[in-house]
Structure 1
């Protein structure tokens, strides 16, 4: 939105010329507007109403309404190990690292060491919207947006109201509480918000397999965020955000505790004048701990006691005035990821230290990009190029015995190089509400420090790191048609063919050993469809994806298999009814097709269909009763199956509580 300038006017009444009116300053707290060619890439927007009306209250659940979105495992952020929360789109997965970029107000949220997304730190009630772009390459979003980009935008004070919050409890006695305060900061605004989730959890282990050491998936997490937005001039605004979070979980056995914590800060300048610009700088301090418990003796065998990491980065984009028929974007971005792991291996028989390990390194990426949209009546063309200078350096691994004697020590050679990426497409407004679009693109993702240097164990399988991993490259194209004759109808269909060359996968070496390796490619071809239909107060939103994905490696046992953890079919359908100013009833049907635990397709994760529900019933002008239901049919959703050792996702769960708002 551009601020309007009221100009002085002269009259002939004999009075003096009027004084210039003060500029009208409009503060949004958002980034620059999308460009005319944004729809060339398969884009789906989730509005605030849908973000805050899921059965679970989790952001990952809301994002799952876009078919093709998936985490590495089916568990949500209360019962999964945090390091398994990588995000991908279009079945381009195969390991736990994120192949899609998740941005919060322009800031990449991926953990600097692991690449996972700290979902517990992202409270849906703080957001205005989420824009999900499947495919599309890296473009102006930075290296890492391989499978797509998820752009989360914080809500402003007007959307949130002066104060608000909620307190819910479920049928297991678990609680979810959140609150915010918002107010004016001069001609801008400030928001302080917090959320706290805790509970005893549920048993992920099937009842027949439980032992005395079996534990519920306990969780205890909080996040605090302060955000301020203030105008510096009538066209320039400053945005500042600080986020602090801590997340603690237990998985499967007593003592199998993990933690994920972070302190993030960012500053952003947005210019909406003739020369539009977006200048962003951020700093992230993160940590992760994890204790591995033996599945046979039920004692600690590995204490990943400390994994500190730091992310530093920024972006500068400028859009010069080049006429009404063009939008030119020129910019650069930078990210440095630095981290180490400190872990202790313990004897399952004596409890004594058998090995102390220390490993880590630094990855950097400096990119420059240019993108140009050209408007030719009903046709919009777009083309862009990106050049990245990356480094993988200071990599090392060291292991000593309990007395400090070196057992193994490696200092890996530094690496650096240049990678180019391109993307382009078109949007054609065909009339009658029809829009045709097509795009082709390439992209880049560096291996994470976790993939390069940290082995991990999910008993009985050990997955080894690989310091020689190369970058992943995306090559893809797509074509689609949209039908939007009015605000009540929004239909979309996309066909795509994407491949990740040099994809990093967890490759099986023997029954209990895997290693991260670059394989020839992962290829995913499929069709995505979405529908939004409004019938007055009644609305239907649905999304479905069919993906034929395969991992290719000549001569390998997995050649031609579907990548691990990737379904062929995924779909979601929500029927909602809105009444009054705040009343809402909604039910969501979600289906995820059969998946395989590993690359050899030996262990199956069966298809699962779940039903969730949400109801907000206003009691007064400021108070509502909220009822939520997760997995109401109590479906057994298998999230892990390793040789018959199984974990389940959340069972049927019913929530009730009060929501306040002004």
Structure 2
């Protein structure tokens, strides 16, 4: 069986692959953009099988991924209630923000928003996922911009007949899952596959809705606060067909729509997207294979924001972001060569072009918005990379890589007009910018004994600020944040040292990591209301003015520990702990922040999970601990420690199962936000869902 086929077969057939930074899976595809033994990957690699993701007691996919140490969203809320602009991915607390510092992929196509960098998790299938790979602190040499903190790749199931070299006849089948539960939460997801001549047609879709729950803590809640509801649906189609004897063509299309309420009557947002991709995979001979991919994405987004009075009896519109059209075009070619002595080389080129623009009304007065803003631009990235791995000795494995990226920004603009008169109040056109970035990496794996694996790795990576960070100021409540078209490129040097031990049913893993992030983009507090201030203008009482600025140097260092034990085939335990020391070390433009902890990064976090099967019944409890963290850059607003217990239960019925998921079993208070005027937001309360799934 070919490496790609072997990899997918393991994901599809293994009933419960647990998330570990060890060699539990023979092949990984994300770290080097090509199939390679997981044991040879020098960076922290976590692999979760599709069955594990479905069994994890979490309503959302991003909630399930939180079982992996170091994975989090920008805030503590997951995509069940979080505004899409707050769904940026953070790995190991590397300067979390709405604009992800980590790249998220679905079958090799970026999921990061073209305009803002965040990830809309609700457009990802869960029932038809083969698995997920998380490369923490690595992968930037293969993927370039946006992979500064690491890479998360989600892989969908593919029928064996679609794989090169697999000659079994095509088969038809499908998956169906339906759930219903608290807060009128309900969903249906369906995936079908049908052989048609030499090819296979796969159709899938989901419809989801929830009436939601209130986001404001009970002691702060007022008449204006309502439940945060959401609705979304998507449909996808994929056609796979052999091309000649040694190639496979895959054509994919997806359409997605979502609407959300964000906790008050006025605050809502909606998203729409259409995406198409074409991939061609070929293996001309046994020592060489290549993949070519092209994709196009077109989307629009809208969102409204308000400020709420002190008694929370009324809200005043703050902005109406009525349209954010954005598009992305991309293409990539990757080749993989196998040399004598099991040495491997992967190399390739890629290109991505994004364009986006915000169109919004702001400055509400006398019952209407008085001003309109149009701001945006274009970004282009072209990269060339190569990675080579080889055995230096029977117990030593070396990986070296290098990447060169050429980037360009053009048509940056910000135009503001008076809505009543049409008078132009501001008309900025920013000079085009470009640059060349070099991203090297190196890793070494030592296997001193069959049970041990010791690894060391380092990389340099970069990220350009998103169009949203460069050109769009915004107001959320009484927090006003100004954009900055002069933001510099973020650069990081990442190093880690890890050791893994496997003996029988016991697995232990550890990793020390150290990141030096230079010119990190942060939302820096520059004024407190009430009053009128330079840059941010008028700030009401209790409000805050911020500007996006480059912080000279952040230091993010820490320790990851993982353990897994399977005393019997029916019983397993997994535990993970993350210590994360994330500090501002130098900030010329904001010296008061030096020594402060990064906002939204807890120092301690842990998960404890188990799986117990008896007869037809399987129980999957999980406990998550989120340490104390700060809401703001000045470390004045504290979010308390939270301990959340979740429980999953399923009963197998032939080819299907019925299941129960209870998230936050103890109804723990999870503080997700705190404002300067003392208003606290909270996360998911106790939420129970029951459902069934079947496969045929």
Q: 1:93 to 1:261 in 2, by over 3 A?
A: farther
Per-residue CA deviations over 1:551-583 (Å, capped at 9, x if unaligned) read 123461111111111111111121012355x75
Per-residue CA deviations over 1:617-657 (Å, capped at 9, x if unaligned) read 12x42442211101011011111111112211110011112
Between 290-299 and 194-203, the greater mean CA deviation after superposition: 290-299
> Which residue, 558, 567, 573 being the options, matches 2:593?
558
Rounded to whole Å, the distance in 2 between the matches of 1:322 and 1:168 is 49
Q: 1:366 to 1:537 in 2, by over 3 A?
A: same
Rounded to whole Å, the distance in 2 between the matches of 1:654 and 1:645 is 27
State how 1:106-255 maps to structure 2 within 5 Å: 106-136=108-138, 138-157=140-159, 162-255=173-266
**Secondary structure, aligned partner of 1:202:** strand
Aligned: 1:318 with 2:355: no
> Which residue, 518, 529, 543 being the options, matches 1:501?
518
Between 110-119 and 255-264, the greater mean CA deviation after superposition: 255-264
TM-aligned CA deviation for residue 595 of structure 1: 1.1
TM-aligned CA deviation for residue 229 of structure 1: 2.5
Query: Residue 277 of structure 2 aligns with which residue?
Result: 266
State how 1:509-528 maps to structure 2 within 5 Å: 509-511=526-528, 512-528=544-560
Per-residue CA deviations over 1:39-82 (Å, capped at 9, x if unaligned) read 21111111112211232331101111111111111111121111
> Which residue, 390, 395, 400 being the options, matches 1:383?
400
Per-residue CA deviations over 1:366-425 (Å, capped at 9, x if unaligned) read 111111111232211011111110111110000000121100110001101111110001
> Which residue, 343, 353, 372 being the options, matches 1:336?
353
Rounded to whole Å, the distance in 2 between the matches of 1:320 and 1:164 is 36
1:157/1:183 contact within 8 Å kept: no
Rounded to whole Å, the distance in 1 between the matches of 2:585 and 2:229 is 39
TM-aligned CA deviation for residue 613 of structure 1: 1.0
Aligned: 1:277 with 2:294: no
Rounded to whole Å, the distance in 1 between the matches of 2:379 and 2:240 is 32
Gaps (5+ residues) in structure 2? 5-27, 162-170, 529-543
TM-aligned CA deviation for residue 173 of structure 1: 2.0
Given the two structures, how large is their TM-score scaled by the length of structure 2? 0.88
Query: Residue 8 of structure 2 aligns with which residue?
Result: none
> Which residue, 577, 602, 606 being the options, matches 1:571?
606
Aligned: 1:597 with 2:599: no
Q: 1:130 to 1:92 in 2, by over 3 A?
A: same
2:178/2:188 contact within 8 Å kept: yes
1:628/1:656 contact within 8 Å kept: yes
TM-aligned CA deviation for residue 325 of structure 1: 3.4
Aligned: 1:304 with 2:336: no
Q: How many residue pairs were aligned?
A: 635
Say what the alpha-carbon RMSD is for the aligned residues: 2.1
2:62/2:121 contact within 8 Å kept: yes
Per-residue CA deviations over 1:577-605 (Å, capped at 9, x if unaligned) read 2355x753201111111111111001011
**Secondary structure, aligned partner of 1:356:** strand
**Secondary structure, aligned partner of 2:447:** strand
**Secondary structure, aligned partner of 1:431:** coil
TM-aligned CA deviation for residue 177 of structure 1: 1.4
Per-residue CA deviations over 1:63-109 (Å, capped at 9, x if unaligned) read 11111111111111121111111001111124211011111111111
**Secondary structure, aligned partner of 2:582:** strand
> Which residue, 92, 95, 106 being the options, matches 1:93?
95
> Which residue, 633, 640, 647 being the options, matches 2:673?
640
Query: Residue 401 of structure 1 aligns with which residue?
Result: 418
Query: Residue 11 of structure 2 aligns with which residue?
Result: none
1:58/1:123 contact within 8 Å kept: no
Rounded to whole Å, the distance in 2 between the matches of 1:505 and 1:185 is 52
State how 1:15-94 maps to structure 2 within 5 Å: 32-34=34-36, 38-94=40-96
TM-aligned CA deviation for residue 320 of structure 1: 3.1
Rounded to whole Å, the distance in 1 between the matches of 2:34 and 2:437 is 27
Between 524-533 and 388-397, the greater mean CA deviation after superposition: 524-533
**Secondary structure, aligned partner of 2:619:** strand
TM-aligned CA deviation for residue 119 of structure 1: 0.3
Query: Residue 286 of structure 1 aligns with which residue?
Result: 299
Between 297-306 and 36-45, the greater mean CA deviation after superposition: 36-45
TM-aligned CA deviation for residue 300 of structure 1: 2.1
2:357/2:377 contact within 8 Å kept: yes
Between 354-363 and 70-79, the greater mean CA deviation after superposition: 70-79
Rounded to whole Å, the distance in 1 between the matches of 2:390 and 2:628 is 43
TM-aligned CA deviation for residue 230 of structure 1: 2.3
State how 1:393-432 maps to structure 2 within 5 Å: 393-402=410-419, 403-432=421-450
Rounded to whole Å, the distance in 2 between the matches of 1:583 and 1:327 is 44
2:34/2:346 contact within 8 Å kept: no
1:613/1:630 contact within 8 Å kept: yes
Between 36-45 and 504-513, the greater mean CA deviation after superposition: 36-45
Rounded to whole Å, the distance in 2 between the matches of 1:420 and 1:633 is 49
Gaps (5+ residues) in structure 1? 5-27
TM-aligned CA deviation for residue 244 of structure 1: 1.5
Rounded to whole Å, the distance in 2 between the matches of 1:227 and 1:577 is 36
TM-aligned CA deviation for residue 187 of structure 1: 4.5
Query: Residue 21 of structure 1 aligns with which residue?
Result: none
Q: 1:104 to 1:293 in 2, by over 3 A?
A: same
State how 1:394-543 maps to structure 2 within 5 Å: 394-402=411-419, 403-486=421-504, 488-511=505-528, 512-534=544-566, 535-543=568-576
Between 261-270 and 600-609, the greater mean CA deviation after superposition: 261-270
1:94/1:504 contact within 8 Å kept: no
Q: 1:125 to 1:623 in 2, by over 3 A?
A: closer
Given the two structures, how large is their TM-score scaled by the length of structure 1? 0.92
Query: Residue 17 of structure 1 aligns with which residue?
Result: none
**Secondary structure, aligned partner of 1:40:** coil
Rounded to whole Å, the distance in 2 between the matches of 1:631 and 1:354 is 44
> Which residue, 373, 394, 403 being the options, matches 1:357?
373
Query: Residue 372 of structure 1 aligns with which residue?
Result: 388
TM-aligned CA deviation for residue 431 of structure 1: 1.4
